[in-house]
Structure 1
Amino acid sequence: MTGTPHYFIGVPISEEIRQVLGGWQKELKQVVQYKTWTHPEDFHITLKFLGAVDTKNINEVLQLLKEETASYPAPFHVETSDLKFFGQKQKPRVLFMEVEKHTSLLNLKEIVETRLKRAGFQEEKRPYRPHITIAKKWKEEQKDTFTNEKLENLKETLILPVDRFHVFRIHPAKAPKYEIVETIELG
């Protein structure tokens, strides 16, 4: 990617949970094929995709977010549920771990969204579906189709503490591809 860097805002995942999800990836790679598997250090829950933002504007975003969330009650916890997918059932384009729509997470998302809309960022029109991306880009040459049975042995509720979020810069050609630009503590 050349030109203006792209950014997003996301909740980090603990090392313990990254290890669990990374282990699941190893098992899944044997039964489903995707072109891109998320690097374990890149696991996160997205709050807001910002897109291309220049350095001056990203610094303004950081200041706005720090002011807006300085007194946000933390920590709170969210739970994961099942592995699910976006896209066609037989050839799902994204495999992800669903995250519960906890009131505190939804409120945090709304605060971030509202504040950035006032700052000139485009509002997300799609409903918010918190998740952790495991893999994406289904390999078309794969002979068999996706079935939920392939995910049955990978069920475990994971508890994720939320006491901060990061602003990430995207480096598409690197692995891991997300660089933490700033950590914003809640509360």
Structure 2
Amino acid sequence: MPRLFTGLELPSEIGTELAMLRGGISGARWIDAENYHITLRFIGDIDERMASEIVEVLSEIRRPSFPVTLEGLSWFGADKPRAIVAKIKPTAPLVELQADQERRLRRIGLQPEPRKYTPHVTLARLRSASTLAVADYLSVRGYFRIPQFEATRFVLFSARESTGGGPYLVEAAYGLQG
């Protein structure tokens, strides 16, 4: 398996709603709606033996399904914007699922994730967009109303080595109990 990460898929109707927010920033590379997801844990490039261990350890997770709420748009990168994102409300069930994965993956030998977990959906990657252009974009599109959805499973995705944005393949899916 190539580059791996875990995440939550978005229902297609929510992906369609988010895709309607595209455009209006020069230098943005917009992600295709079918590749929208909420990353739980980036794993990286690993060998087949470790991939098998990951598939197995993730299958041991038992968590309830839970609602996921999108909270609006933002950007990553402080004074040099590098991505437009849809923020996800960091509810206890979501954060606990991510932390459970982190603990289990560290136990089998993966290095700890150095970044603080910030749930989001990446909508666009930015190359040379100015802070002003991003602020203008967010002032026009930053607030939207998208209904909650129920996370009923998490998945192990693979991605080809690239600059990000897909295509992503589901390698394994793990149900969340109702």
TM-score by length of 1: 0.84
Which of 171, 181, 184 pairs up with 2:174? 184
Q: How does 1:108-123 map to 2 (within 5 A)?
A: 108-123=97-112
CA apart distance, 1:149: 3.5
Asked if residue 129 in structure 1 is aligned to residue 118 in structure 2, the reply is: yes
The superposition leaves residues 43-99 of structure 1 with CA deviations (integer Å, 9 ceiling, x where unpaired) of: 0000000001122221211111111x2x3112x10211121011144x411110000
Q: What SS does structure 2 have at the residue aligned with 1:24?
A: coil
**Deviation for aligned residue 1:176:** 4.2
Give the 3-state SS of the residue equivalent to 2:82 in structure 1: strand
SS in 1 for 2:42: strand
Give 1:99's aligned residue: 88
- Indicate conservation of the 8 Å contact 1:92/1:146, yes or no: no
Partner of 1:5: 2
Supply the AA of the counterpart residue of 2:29. Answer: T
> What is the deviation of 1:157?
3.4
Counterpart of 1:54 in structure 2 is 47
* Aligned partner letter, 1:73: P
For 1:157, the equivalent position in structure 2 comes to: 145
Consecutive unaligned residues of structure 1, counting only runs of 5 or more, are none
Shift of 1:147: 4.3
The answer to whether the 8 Å contact 2:159/2:169 transfers is yes
Inter-partner Cα distance in structure 2 for 1:128 and 1:153: 27
Structure 2 vs 1, CA of residues 147 and 178 (structure 1 numbering), >3 Å: closer, same or farther? closer
**1:14 paired to 2:11:** yes
The one of 61, 64, 67 equivalent to 1:77 is 67
How many residue pairs are counted as aligned between the two chains? Answer: 174
User: Which whole-Å CA distance do the structure 1 matches of 2:27 and 2:103 have between them?
Assistant: 35
Alpha-carbon offset, residue 19 of structure 1: 0.3
Residues 171 and 179, structure 1, Cα contact 8 Å, conserved in 2: no
SS at match of 2:115: coil
**Cα pair 1:18 1:41 within 8 Å, conserved:** yes
- Is the CA contact (8 Å cut-off) linking 1:34 and 1:135 kept in structure 2? no
> What is the SS of the residue equivalent to 1:50?
strand
> Matched residues in 2 for 1:49 and 1:151: separation?
27
Distance in structure 1 (CA, Å) of the matches to 2:41 and 2:5: 6
Q: Which amino acid aligns with 2:173?
A: T
Secondary structure at 2:69 match in 1: strand
Letter in 1 for 2:64: P
